[in-house]
Amino acid sequence: MAVGDVTMPLMHVVQGVKIGSTEAYVRYPNRRDLVIFELAEGSNVAGVFTQNAFCAAPVHVSKAHLAQANPRYLVINTGNANAGTGPTGLKNAQDTCAKLAMLTGVNSSEVLPFSTGVIGEQLPMERLLVGLQPALNSLQESAWADAASGIMTTDTVPKGASEQFELNGITYTMTGISKGAGMIRPNMATMLSFVATDAPISRDLVQSLLKTTVEHSFNRITIDGDTSTNDSCIFVATGQAGGREITSNNDVRYAKVLDVLARVMNRLAQLIVRDGEGATKFITVAVEGGADTQECCDIAYSIAHSPLVKTALFASDPNWGRILAAIGYAGVKDLDVSKIQVWLDDVQICKDGGAAEDYTEEAGARVMEQTEITIRVDLGRGQSKDTVYTCDLSYDYVKINADYRS
């Protein structure tokens, strides 16, 4: 059961984007599992991908195709990751692109493939290829919600975000979807995200905007510390709503676009944490007072990854010594623990490296019983800060992953 507000908003249409989906029976019957995005000619597209060395076949193909041309089509299947599948898996990803290209009259390099699901099994190519035409037949502008459902694996809810904004009297839209619930760790993970705007943005700036916003959204979430083979995040600017192209971050319109994209990316990333496998609590780990951003992140991730911290959160047990231990083994050099302060929401649990004098077990337990909790740490050694989002670790996480392939 997802934590907090995970409501799918009104998904505003992005001019220049059409989406279709179908039931191709990639793994399970009676569910959407094949999604196609059609992008208007002239759209500028950027992508960031997993840093896992064992990255999946579609990641290899998408990166290669993105380097050659601006894509016209994205094709996504769920139920099968096409990872750990060797030369056959690579050919299957390429054949998927070739078939869709043939059906639509574009070059194969103008198609990007994406897969998510079970690792180590070959795609059921006959069913997948047969499903392409029905998905194309269903293309429409208003199918964002259907697409959000069609890319889910162990997700319990579809995930979407959408905003409209104005630049020089023209109304633009920023809409996106994401999927992911497990095998989620910084540097991207088992997550897919597709965000599009109809604002006119140059290709170089599209890539820069994506990298900037991913760093503080999808690269600041963790569920279980595992980095997947398939994660991909795509940002599309169709330019179909008109206006002069934004080509520089010195353009006065750039800041507005960055602000809107950052909010959409943050919402999509946090929805993944809220829907973490078996999650019952949404946790913000905020570290401030660091000498630099890296050490703030190192400590935040150390806390967020700790199985002992995460199980204590699930049990509503204010065993705050586990938080101190995670801070201590994060590997930050020359850390002066006598300067460290730690809070659970508004309750200070650690003052100057020791137990806060006015701390009580009852106050700590009150915070730990909440479904949304902030762990705040002040290192007392600088001005840098950063934030990571995570969830607790429950019995259901083990059950979901133990039964995943059945």
Whether 371 is a known active-site residue: answer no
Please state, in angstroms and as integers, the Cα–Cα distance from residue 104 to each residue in 39, 72, 111, 135, following that order: 12, 9, 10, 12
Structure tokens at 180: 């992911």
Phi and psi based region of residue 320 (left: phi greater than 0; alpha: psi -120 to 50; beta: remaining): alpha
Answer yes or no: is 229 a known binding residue: no
Q: Is 248 annotated as a binding residue?
A: no
Helix (H, G, I), strand (E, B) or coil at 170: strand
406 assigned ligand-binding residue: yes
213 phi, psi to nearest 5 deg: -80, -30
Is 178 a known ligand-binding residue? no
Residue from 50, 78, 154, 190 carrying the catalytic annotation: 190
Residue 213 assigned as binding residue: no
Q: Nearest 5°: phi and psi at 126?
A: -60, -45
- Report the alpha-carbon distance of residue 189 to residue 129 in Å, rounded: 26
Q: Binding site annotation covers 385?
A: no
CA 153 from chain centre, in angstroms, equals 14
Greatest alpha-carbon span in the chain: 72
Compute the 3-state secondary structure of the chain and give helix, strand, coil in percent, each to the nearest 5: 35, 25, 40
| Other residues' Cβ atoms within 10 Å of the Cβ of residue 10 | 10
Identify the CA nearest to 22 among candidates 100, 102, 107.
100
Residue 167 forms beta bridges with which residues? 170
Task: Cite the annotated binding site for substrate by residue number.
Answer: 153, 179, 190, 277, 401, 406
Active site residues: 190
